[in-house]
Amino acid sequence: MQLDTLLALFLFAFTTSITPGPNNMMLFASGVNFGFARTIPHMLGIGVGFFVLLLAVGLGLGALLHSVPLVYTTLKFAGGGYLVWIAWKIGTSRSLGEGKASARPMTFLQAAAFQWVNPKAWVMAVSAMATYTSGDSYLLSVLAVGLVFALVNVPSVSTWAGFGSALRQWLSEPSRLKWFNITMALLLVSSNFYVLLGG
């Protein structure tokens, strides 16, 4: 891969990983509600799950979904339904999760599995593979795209958990936390509005 293409890929990976979307909204809310350390498995799950999704798309799953649009549409709306459920859980939460047995952050496996129904993740994966892979050395370019995202993704998404964790003290006041969680729930649902209806 040429240097200018590699730099463009790093920029694409960074901007798509750090901009608002379902993963980042959930990490922000998790940072507030559970703290940074308890959100680490969620962050790592996003990184690993997206890496596996990227490789799968690059190795043929993207072509399959393109040829069978019903499968892609089903995944897209299943992901939308799951996002609404997660948004409901966040929006109705009224206290910080520290020390509560019933409250826990998303696990590594849940976060990894979520990438497969996350419409933004699919758009990112298909776009990256269509734009930055090369027919001459296709397999190597698929691996290069995956590795660039692996290097960029977790540090990018962790900033959202860090911001949330930094606001934890201020949001420990119940009325502030209530409105924060409601706002995050609305942002989570709206983060995929365009993708679900227009993508």
- Residue-wise pLDDT for 56-83, tens only, equals 999 887 667 667 778 767 766 776 777 7
Do 75 and 122 contact (CB within 8 A), yes or no?
yes
CA–CA separation, 132 and 129 (whole Å): 6
Which residue did the predictor score with more confidence, 68 or 41?
Answer: 41
- Asked if residues 121 and 50 have their Cβ atoms less than 8 Å apart, the reply is yes
Say whether pLDDT at 101 is over 50: no
Looking at residue 99, its pLDDT comes to: 42
Please report the pLDDT score of residue 152 as a whole number: 94
Give, in degrees to the nearest 5, the angle at Cα 107 between 161 and 176: 40
Mean pLDDT, the chain, integer = 82
Q: pLDDT band at 113, cuts 50/70/90? A: very high
The letter for the amino acid at 12 is F
pLDDT tens, residue by residue, 116-156:
888 788 888 988 888 888 878 888 989 999 999 999 998 99
pLDDT at 95 over 80: no
State residue 107 phi and psi, 5-degree precision. Answer: -80, 170
Q: What is the mean pLDDT of residues 79-105?
A: 68
> Residue 109 pLDDT more than 60?
yes
